[in-house]
Amino acid sequence: MLAHFLEFMMLALFGVSWPFAIAKTYRAKRVDGKSPLFEVIVIAGYLCGIASHLVSGVGMWVIGIYAVDILLVSTDLALYCYYSIKNRRAADGGEG
């Protein structure tokens, strides 16, 4: 039980950080210094956590937290893709 609580706290604390990253990307409309590979690796890690719970059948309620965290990281990754393309076009003198 303690292990599940600690896992929940880890996911919750990681989850709290992503809205700040999303807001920063949205406000700045720049993605300099961001790593899409890092975000893909984080999503893969969360998917492995979900798989772990599906295989063990224990602590299934934690899957919802994983899903929320995946949604948040995916939102930041989508903003990365959007602003990366938009900024590249603007730098090339095209439509921004």
Q: pLDDT, tens digit, for every residue of 42-65?
A: 999 999 999 999 999 988 889 999
Report the alpha-carbon distance of residue 71 to residue 65 in Å, rounded: 10
- Look-up: residue for tokens 């920063």? 24
Residue keyed to tokens 């998917």: 47
Q: Where are the domains of the chain?
A: 34-85
pLDDT at 94 over 80: no
Cut 0.85: pTM above it: yes
Percent helix, strand and coil across the chain, each rounded to 5? 85, 0, 15
Identify which of 41, 42, 37, 27 has the alpha carbon closest to the alpha carbon of residue 79: 27
